[in-house]
């Protein structure tokens, strides 16, 4: 597994967005151009470019050959390779992704002041009680949210799998477990990553062999990769 993080506001100069938009397929480009705010366009664009870069490097695919489909719940996959599983998430300044040979889930959330009562609708009763008793309920809310979302994204069922149908368990030794129907799930592992003190980030996998740290990649580095590809054609 590899885990990458990219800050979309680390830019020091202007990028050729017209050229970068040309690196994704027409359907994706149409969706991107419908965004009202440029920040939303950038998050979605660079999330896809990051996955495309990994496919090009790992499988020597031509960028024009790469096509993404979605399963019945909307989780994307690449139809050109069978052992390439990926998941992306973005929030605020950050775009993150995890890639593995087996399904993987990742989520990042920006910590903010919210109405904590909404946890009654999305968290289990025990999670809500733990939240209310925590030293920093806002931080704990987004800790839980990112962990739960990473699991939902691992299983690939989206919002059809209610967030309050399972409970996150903070175990001894910084271990994290998950309880479903009063039983702890086996072979479901979580890891939290700290890339920014204002965010919570979590990865979920069927194995525990996850990198110790996320690899930070710069926006310019990713852009230069595709600008060079374009120049070669």
- β-strands 2-7, 215-216 pairing: parallel
* CATH architecture of the domain with range 2-232: Alpha-Beta Complex (3.90)
Beta bridge partners of 106: 203
Q: What value does the mean pLDDT take over residues 10-24?
A: 76
Q: How far apart are CA 91 and CA 43, in angstroms?
A: 8
Q: Delimit the domains of the chain by residue range.
A: 2-232
Q: Percent of the chain scored above 70 by pLDDT? A: 94
Torsion, Cα of 41, 46, 47, 50 (10° steps): 160
Q: What value does the mean pLDDT take over residues 62-72?
A: 90
Q: What is the pLDDT of residues 70-115, one digit of tens each?
A: 888 888 999 889 899 999 999 999 999 999 999 999 999 999 989 9
Bigger pLDDT: 75 or 159?
75
Question: Is it the case that residue 214 has pLDDT exceeding 90?
Answer: yes
Q: Residue count of the chain, please give it.
A: 233
């Amino acid at each position: 597994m590899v885990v990458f993080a990219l800050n979309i506001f680390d830019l020091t100069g202007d990028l050729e967005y017209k050229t970068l938009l040309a690196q994704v397929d027409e359907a994706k480009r149409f969706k991107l151009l419908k965004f009202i705010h440029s920040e939303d366009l950038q998050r979605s664009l660079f999330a896809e470019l990051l996955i495309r870069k990994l496919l090009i490097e790992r499988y020597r695919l031509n960028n024009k050959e790469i096509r993404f489909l979605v399963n019945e719940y909307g989780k994307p996959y690449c139809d050109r390779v069978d052992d390439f599983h990926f998941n992306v998430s973005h929030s605020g300044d950050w775009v993150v992704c995890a890639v593995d040979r087996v399904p993987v889930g990742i989520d990042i959330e920006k910590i903010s002041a919210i109405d904590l009562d909404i946890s009654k609708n999305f968290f289990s009763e025990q999670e809500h009680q733990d939240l209310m008793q925590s030293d920093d309920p806002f931080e704990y809310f987004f800790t839980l949210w990112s962990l739960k979302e990473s699991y939902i994204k691992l299983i690939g069922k989206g919002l059809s799998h209610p967030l309050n149908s399972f409970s996150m368990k903070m175990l001894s030794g910084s271990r994290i477990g998950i309880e479903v129907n009063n039983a702890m799930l086996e072979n479901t592992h979580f890891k939290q990553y700290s890339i920014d003190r204002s965010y919570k980030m979590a990865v979920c996998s069927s194995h525990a062999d996850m990198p110790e740290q996320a690899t930070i990649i710069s926006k310019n580095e990713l852009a230069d990769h595709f600008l060079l590809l374009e120049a070669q054609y």
